[in-house]
Structure 1
Amino acid sequence: MHRDDPLTARAFVTRHRVALVVIALFLLVGAIELTAGRPPICPCGRISLWQGAAQSPETSQQVADWYSFSHIIHGFLFYGAAHLLLRGSPGLRAWAPAAAVLVEGGWELLENSPLIIDRYREATVAVGYSGDSILNSLCDIGWMAFGFGVAGRLPARATIALAIGFELMTLAVIRDNLTLNIVMLVWPIDAIRTWQGG
């Protein structure tokens, strides 16, 4: 296809519009969290690329931690949903990354609301959990977007294998993963809580 072909030009414009919407959504989530009183960075006063201790007060405060793998899996799932639901709609499918950022941003706002923070404290081993820093929250959205992009480039089987690998790895290392996180938020099981507190 030639560069000045109308279809190519339209795709180029759409990609740029999607990118602008994604940036606007990032800024909106950050602004809402700032208005809600979320700390911009870790209350410890430093920024780290990686926080490897799951029970550290710096978990959910830095650029990445063990829970970043769950957000990457969110991206895999959102890509899979877009692929299945928008199969015959290339115009709508072009907006799937923005829709994924919108959903993940909505989850980040909900996750950092008193409702979910209190639920984590009651139902999981995260007794002292106080929510994410804005830095961590926006990076979580970024990790989801990374997962979405990876899923778009890998065969479905490879993406599924990677998701299972991430789940098993975090289960082995921190006794938690996306699956257990959902279970413990929706239907807490005392035996799992005891094992996780192990």
Structure 2
Amino acid sequence: MTPAQMPGSRPSSHIWFGVAAGILLLQIVILYFMGRVPICECGYVKLFEPGVNTPGNSQHLADWYTPSHIIHGFLFYGLAWLLFRNRSIGFRLSIAVLIEAAWELLENSPIIIDRYRTATMALGYSGDSILNSAMDTVFMVTGFFFAARVPIWLTVVVAIVFEIFTGWLIRDNLTLNVLMLVAPIDAIKEWQNALPTP
């Protein structure tokens, strides 16, 4: 009998992976009862939405904010490692998925949607589709496992490249997004709103 099978032992990683999947499923169910649309109201699903301030943004499988969610995975892996380094990778993943799912639900609440509209460049933001929100969590998981398998320096380099590239391309990234939600700066908002439309 292995330690994981002994009475009173901690659940194995496989059980925690199931917990993480259950949290994602719960996120989807709650979003449905919040009234979020399952997929883009355009009626089809795209692999990638290239527009930023377009009706398709935050509605499809991926968009220019996907790198931010991958970075979430980097950050949550680091946080879970610091706080729970003696626990299994599955347990730490469950914590990461719980945090991401909680953010996705908050992000799609009226208070945060209104905050995005008034304080950031997302003037027409109306929330995510359920598909997009679920994929945001999946991409966070991708970032989590990437950070778990590669050297710290590589994770840091990838995060910096993502931030610089999206900052240059769409005038927004995870850093700017957090800054503009917490402490909006008019000069940054004006610069972001001057982004040429496709």
TM-score range with shorter-chain normalisation? over 0.9
- Work out the CA distance in 1 between the residues paired with 2:59 and 2:87: 37
RMSD of Structure 2 on Structure 1 (CA): 1.7
Q: Is the Cα contact below 8 Å between 2:113 and 2:125 reproduced in 1? A: yes
- Work out the CA distance in 2 between the residues paired with 1:65 and 1:9: 43
Pairing 1:107–2:103 present: yes
> Which residue of the partner structure matches residue 53 of structure 1?
51
Pairing 1:78–2:76 present: yes
Unaligned runs of 5+ in 1: none
- Work out the CA distance in 1 between the residues paired with 2:167 and 2:90: 34
Which letter does structure 1 place at the counterpart of 2:159? Answer: A
Percent identity, aligned pairs only, is 51
Pairing 1:144–2:119 present: no
Which letter does structure 2 place at the counterpart of 1:129? Answer: Y
How far did 1:9 drift?
A: 5.9
State which of 126, 135, 151 in structure 2 corresponds to 1:155: 151
- Work out the CA distance in 1 between the residues paired with 2:22 and 2:83: 25
How far did 1:125 drift?
A: 1.6
Q: TM-score, normalised by structure 2?
A: 0.92
- Work out the CA distance in 2 between the residues paired with 1:7 and 1:76: 30
Which letter does structure 2 place at the counterpart of 1:155? Answer: P
Which letter does structure 1 place at the counterpart of 2:158? Answer: L
Which letter does structure 1 place at the counterpart of 2:91? Answer: W
State which of 174, 178, 188 in structure 2 corresponds to 1:192: 188
Which letter does structure 2 place at the counterpart of 1:72? Answer: I
> Which residue of the partner structure matches residue 38 of structure 1?
36
> Which residue of the partner structure matches residue 90 of structure 1?
87
State which of 131, 134, 139 in structure 2 corresponds to 1:135: 131
How far did 1:155 drift?
A: 0.3
- Work out the CA distance in 1 between the residues paired with 2:142 and 2:54: 25
Choose 130-139 or 120-129, whichever is displaced more: 120-129
How far did 1:149 drift?
A: 0.3
Q: Is the Cα contact below 8 Å between 2:4 and 2:12 reproduced in 1? A: no
Partner SS for 1:20 = helix
How far did 1:84 drift?
A: 1.6
Partner SS for 1:70 = helix
> Which residue of the partner structure matches residue 121 of structure 1?
117
Unaligned runs of 5+ in 2: none
Between Structure 1 and Structure 2, how many residues are aligned?
192
How far did 1:15 drift?
A: 2.1
> Which residue of the partner structure matches residue 14 of structure 2?
16
Which letter does structure 2 place at the counterpart of 1:76? Answer: F
Partner SS for 1:50 = coil
Which letter does structure 1 place at the counterpart of 2:176? Answer: L
Q: TM-score, normalised by structure 1?
A: 0.92
> Which residue of the partner structure matches residue 28 of structure 1?
26
- Work out the CA distance in 2 between the residues paired with 1:159 and 1:125: 28
Partner SS for 2:12 = helix
How far does the alpha carbon of each residue in 1:136-162 deviate from its partner, in whole angstroms, 9 at most, with x for none?
000000000000000001100100010
